[in-house]
Amino acid sequence: MRQIPVIDLFAGPGGLNEGFCSLMGRGDEAIFSTAASIEMDPVACKTLRLRAAVRSLRGSERALQRYKSVLRGETSWEDFTSDHDAQKALDHANGEVLELELGPENRTRASSHIKGALQARSAEGGLWVLIGGPPCQAYSLVGRARRTNDPDFEDDVKHFLFREYLDIIATHRPPVFVMENVKGLLSHTHRGQRLFSMILDDLANAGEGYEIRSFVVGDDSSALFSGLSPGDYVIRAEEYGVPQRRHRVILLGVRRDISAARSKILQPSTTPNVEDVIGHLPRIRSRISPARQDGWDAWREIRNAGLQTAGVAKGYRPRLTETGWALGGPAPVGRDGELEHWLTKAGIRAIVQHEARGHMVTDLMRYAYLSAKATTGTTVKLGQLPEALIPNHANARSLDAPFTDRFRVQAWKTPSTTITSHISKDGHYYIHPDPSQMRSFTVREAARLQTFPDDYFFCGNRTQQYHQVGNAVPPYLALQLAEVVAGVLGVSA
């Protein structure tokens, strides 16, 4: 079977891409393959290229084993890239990924890249899929709260990047497209008009026109799916096997002139929690910032002070490991099932990018205090902290100040809150629930909550890695979206 090409716009580190390219059909062959990814962030492009190369090495066991050896720290990146098959795969990936900021000034270049990628797959005029989501910070609920008084907010370019997506739809006429964005899009207005209604109208009337379908609500009464309400396009990821409360608008566009099957919808599944996916990872201690103050003795003193303030007994001191690498063993997930297989299927026998970042002493004490309180079921707002732990902010003591939950412990027994790119700035909203570790989530923990497989490596420094993870669509959710799209195109997974 010929693979169906995928064009990925605003690709980020490749979450949507990973899900689509992981969907297998008969004979255990991938149904979709990436023809092109377009992304403006140069570091995310490095991640995309590496993953594209790894994906194309599925037939070369030698090169794949060398890649896994790199992740385990047993060999160097130079050894991996010197492999003939790896070199060939990396060359292919360089042609697949285009570093480009989509906008009016770059439309010709983007269009040329897409056209060339489709022609190379003999797919121009045939079956292919467009996926992606324009950057969403401008109309996310948090973004709008932060920028209410910004005079430039109404004209922010990020409001209108969906027009670039629309232009590509109108120019290249994909048989099917998948567009992802934040839930805040539903309530956002621009100059008095509902932006979501404008987007639906524009998408429905692009080219020959599209049916805009829901992934979670079917409508047997209308071929045009006109009976759907805006909320019917919201996907709550935790209802579909993702250990995270992530609510996103995801649209399924089907060109009206193609013979498309009626859409199936996503099937709800058991909701995993934080403990299921990160509870069995190696315990590691946080780092003290600045680094010159770091050390086991200083760290223990800070932790003990924080726990004592919270009233925790001195005997509560589980064993920790100094390193962020855990070699020589499997990477277990607490609950058996499909998600466990998805995360660990590569069998790399290591946990990579699982290293705690540094925090100021005052923040570490807050982390210890808040996580210890959370073990008793107590949630503490910013203004309710002990006097010594309240930040030196003008409104920190006010219980009605905005973002009073800016320090938040993620609970073991529930899905996490939404992993966003803000995790790259600090870890205050992503405090690990184990008081003995006194830290925020690592890159790997955030990646697991986003359902990235354990062999998915994020390029760049740690801040850039966090940013990529937070900007992604959960690949395990994308896998399920891909299955719905395959069904629309008449292909069985």
Q: How far apart are the first and last CA of the chain?
A: 12
Token look-up 């709260």 returns 145
pLDDT for res 144: 40
Report yes or no: 248 and 237 within 8 Å, Cβ to Cβ.
yes
pLDDT for res 325: 39
Tokens of 180: 């992802």
- Distance CA(71)–CA(456), nearest Å, equals 10
Provide the H-helix boundaries in 210-279. Answer: 274-278
What does residue 248 show for φ and ψ, rounded to 5 degrees? -135, 150
- Distance CA(432)–CA(449), nearest Å, equals 12
- Distance CA(381)–CA(408), nearest Å, equals 8
Residue 183, C-beta contacts closer than 8 angstroms, at least 6 positions apart: 141, 234, 247, 248, 249
Domain ranges in the chain are: 4-271+472-488, 274-470
pLDDT for res 396: 57
- Distance CA(251)–CA(140), nearest Å, equals 17
Residue type (1 letter), 269: S
For the stretch 190-216, pLDDT in tens is 677 777 887 888 888 887 789 999 999
Tokens of 296: 């086991």
Residue type (1 letter), 115: K
| pTM of the entire predicted model | 0.89
For the stretch 401-442, pLDDT in tens is 555 567 899 999 999 999 999 899 888 999 999 988 989 999
pLDDT for res 27: 81
User: Residue 378: helix, strand or coil by DSSP?
Assistant: coil
Residue 418, C-beta contacts closer than 8 angstroms, at least 6 positions apart: 244, 245, 246, 247
For the stretch 6-36, pLDDT in tens is 999 999 999 999 999 999 998 889 999 999 9
pLDDT for res 228: 86
pLDDT for res 394: 55
Residue type (1 letter), 440: S
For the CA atoms of 15, 16, 22, 24, what is the dihedral angle to 10 degrees?
160
> Can you list the residues of the chain whose pLDDT is less than 70?
1, 123-125, 136-160, 190, 219-226, 312-336, 393-405
Token look-up 């092109």 returns 36
CATH superfamily of 4-271+472-488: Vaccinia Virus protein VP39 (3.40.50.150)
Residue type (1 letter), 249: V
pLDDT for res 226: 59
For the stretch 235-251, pLDDT in tens is 999 999 999 999 999 99
- Distance CA(395)–CA(435), nearest Å, equals 27
- As a 3-state breakdown, the chain gives helix, strand, coil percent values, each rounded to 5, of 40, 15, 45
Tokens of 49: 């290229």
Residue 378, C-beta contacts closer than 8 angstroms, at least 6 positions apart: none
- Distance CA(30)–CA(21), nearest Å, equals 6
Q: Is 356 left (phi over 0), alpha (psi -120 to 50) or beta?
A: beta
- Distance CA(265)–CA(251), nearest Å, equals 12
Report yes or no: 3 and 56 within 8 Å, Cβ to Cβ.
no
Q: Angle at which helices 361-374 and 296-309 pack, to 10 degrees?
A: 50
Tokens of 21: 């390219």
Tokens of 189: 């207005």
Whether the bond between 475 and the residue before it is cis, its omega within 30 degrees of 0, is no
